[in-house]
Amino acid sequence: MAKNEKKMEKVIGTNCYNCKFIDKKEVTVDPKELNDEGGIDPKNLEEMERAKKADLITLPGGSKADATSKKLCYNDQVDMNVTIRMCCAYWDNVGVKRPWKTKVSQ
């Protein structure tokens, strides 16, 4: 989904592949890049710092077989390749409902 593109579909769970910051371009991932749960660990200190700040995680219970591709997260705070097995604190989707941000008439 392109930046700010309105996409209304049923979202099940929160992972990088259903986040509004994910690039459309999918690239085959080398299994050697993956951790045991199917995520991609930061490769250097700069990525490690961004991942820590974003709380970029690999979701539990997966395996390398679950992640056959990677996509770029273009959120400036993350800016690295991720798989469907990952999620972070900046996850968002156009259709997300935030009741505390809507006016409630009283």
Range of the domain at 60: 23-91
pTM recorded for the entire structure: 0.84
Would residue 28 count as lying in a domain?
Answer: yes
Query: pLDDT by residue (tens digit) across 64-93?
Result: 999 999 999 999 999 999 999 999 999 999
Would residue 65 count as lying in a domain?
Answer: yes
Tell me the C-alpha to C-alpha distance, in Å, between residue 18 and each of 26, 28, 75.
Answer: 13, 18, 14
List residues bridging with 72 in a β-sheet: 81
Which residues in the chain come in under a pLDDT of 50? Answer: 1, 106
Would residue 18 count as lying in a domain?
Answer: no
Tell me the C-alpha to C-alpha distance, in Å, between residue 29 and each of 3, 70, 93.
Answer: 23, 6, 24
Query: What per-residue confidence (pLDDT) applies to 105?
Result: 52
Would residue 96 count as lying in a domain?
Answer: no
